[in-house]
Structure 1
């Protein structure tokens, strides 16, 4: 008899979470009534508790990947030690441009200060505890993914040390685990911990944190200078080759870009039921003529990021009425944009016609009105009535129950 996994999951969920539902009361704030043993014990709502548990999973993921990376670093040193190849450093352009310095602590100092500063300011400026949990979870997931990629590159190719170095020893599991902790804390330095740079991962991640979450542009600009200095010190101290640093910057930026782009896709898919660009255009034939992508790529990746970011938890908090009104607001906004585009296109056509016909332009300039045959201009308005509980209180005032969206211009 096959197992009914859906039924088992429902039973376990009811046992763990208890019965919970959402009750709306005249405003956008939702009151979540719950009867959950664990959430009652911790004095937390089930939604917030789910966010914390998801964050715990991300922390475990990061710790496991970090320790596994240290094992691969130690094995890489041993492969280099017993390879019998020449141990001279590779030719590197950065080594010729930047003079060598033995002050290795400077590179660690710039990396740690930027990392701690970015995390502190980001969490301090977050608007709520839920936002802080989301930010921490994103940091854990993204760093874990980057360390996983780094584990692969270290395992496949071993580069010689950029400077004179003594390889670390390997031994039993517990010996390597203890030495791995020292590698993480900086007490032990490996020789072939090269491609790609772990220091640059943290530096680039810190800059992205300022870029995404910081409201003060001058702090973001300072992070660019601070991070660039730290990266130059990595090459000057010969901790990494220049290629290690460049690859780390590109890969870190790419991973963050893909992650946040998929977050946007998940939101569009949930609220607007959009899965790809051809659905936005409304013309599949045009999309295929230009893009020619018959089958959607990386469908599973969208669902993975949706779970990693906890979007399913936050989607469940939105009631059906809010979702419907969000869709209506989006459709009306698209209509306003269409009207605006038509007005600009008509204006451009009138300018083009006036340039090609000088006589017509003179006649038009002598008349008191331009544009329509009757010499009048009209104003287009789109009015959308939205109840107060359709949008957050920060978006609309308590005394206003409607939003007027309008564009004005001459008709062609």
Structure 2
């Protein structure tokens, strides 16, 4: 008889409620001395300090990625200037449509959607911790997207889709650093920052954030329309080739899909002890006959995303809350509570019956 997957939560519950010390102290110990020291001076809990420090690391990663991308853009412009054989734009089907000369329209469409998405999500977030989590995810995902964009821009130089004067700053690190700052704030424009579109990345990111975190469907539907118009303006104003926009949307969407999917798997791994789907059905041969994936190639991403998202911090915090709650009860009541938890977790809900929250 195959064991119900819900019963596999029991090992995690046993660890949380075990009053002996070895494994519990190792996996659910208090935060390290640095967190405790900062928490004491800042008058914050070690949990909040840990979340803030992890977010600070993600922000530093974003800054480094942004400068890497802007340096790659300047290097690409420099190579395009030296090549100087064909300055004409590439053939693009969408360029057969009338051109819009007001380039600032695309910038305004992107910025209003980006700022609006950030403000709305920060306002409606459930808590300050939720706001920190959202910001950290934005930083990590943008870091990857900007690094990948810098690599793609650096390896292949595409001619500018519009009349443009290329940047000429290569040779002086300070000049490149200064120009990078201007590129980040948008006060100067490069010519060959094409594949893939940074504007489209931010537009797609803004729409995805509203789709995930915003509970107001009207706002979400409006963001779809706003994003589509903004993407069309990028092509109509000749800021980007059509392929730049398509690839940017695909890469951004795929990156977010993979990230959030792994976050969900990490939760299953931690509480249900499910590493692969075959662990749920308990029949490895049946799984392989149907799915046939003998060896997974991306399992290392689980640990990386778990750390990046701060899941380890929140797992530890929730475990400590449950342990402290149970330790505050008298011994008979605590034993009864543990017994009730085991019974509740081991109970497999009937079809149509809502599952129970074991943390309550």
TM-score bin, normalised by smaller chain: 0.7 to 0.9
- Residue 123 of structure 1: aligned partner: 122
- Residue 315 of structure 1: aligned partner: 315
Alignment of 1:162-311 (within 5 A): 162-170=161-169, 171-311=171-311
Instruction: Identify if the C-alpha distance between structure 1 residues 327 and 186 changes in structure 2 by more than 3 Å, giving closer, same or farther.
Output: farther
- The structure number with the bigger radius of gyration is 1
Question: Which structure has greater strand proportion?
Answer: 1
Structure 1 distance, partners of 2:248, 2:216, is 26
Q: Which has the higher contact order (CA 8 A, sep 6+)?
A: 2
Instruction: Identify if the C-alpha distance between structure 1 residues 78 and 331 changes in structure 2 by more than 3 Å, giving closer, same or farther.
Output: farther
- Residue 111 of structure 1: aligned partner: 110
Question: What's the TM-score, normalizing by structure 1?
Answer: 0.72
Deviation of residue 102 (structure 1)? 1.4
The question of whether the paired residues in 1 share the 8 Å contact of 2:234 and 2:240 is answered with yes
Deviation of residue 85 (structure 1)? 2.3
The question of whether the paired residues in 1 share the 8 Å contact of 2:344 and 2:356 is answered with no
Question: What's the TM-score, normalizing by structure 2?
Answer: 0.83
Structure 1 distance, partners of 2:355, 2:298, is 37
- Residue 134 of structure 1: aligned partner: 133
Instruction: Identify if the C-alpha distance between structure 1 residues 289 and 183 changes in structure 2 by more than 3 Å, giving closer, same or farther.
Output: same
The question of whether the paired residues in 2 share the 8 Å contact of 1:322 and 1:391 is answered with yes
RMSD: 2.2
Structure 2 distance, partners of 1:135, 1:385, is 27
Paired residues, number: 314
- Residue 332 of structure 1: aligned partner: 347
Instruction: Identify if the C-alpha distance between structure 1 residues 191 and 328 changes in structure 2 by more than 3 Å, giving closer, same or farther.
Output: farther
Deviation of residue 318 (structure 1)? 2.2
- Residue 22 of structure 1: aligned partner: none
Unaligned runs of 5+ in 1: 1-12, 18-35, 341-381, 393-412
Structure 2 distance, partners of 1:168, 1:383, is 60
What secondary structure does 2:66 align onto? Answer: helix
Instruction: Identify if the C-alpha distance between structure 1 residues 157 and 196 changes in structure 2 by more than 3 Å, giving closer, same or farther.
Output: same
Question: Which structure has greater helix proportion?
Answer: 2
Deviation of residue 331 (structure 1)? 5.2
Q: Write out per-residue CA displacement over residues 86-135 of structure 1, whole angstroms, 9 at most, x where no aligned residue.
A: 11111101111x31111111100000000000000001000110000000
Q: Write out per-residue CA displacement over residues 62-88 of structure 1, whole angstroms, 9 at most, x where no aligned residue.
A: 000001111100100111111132111
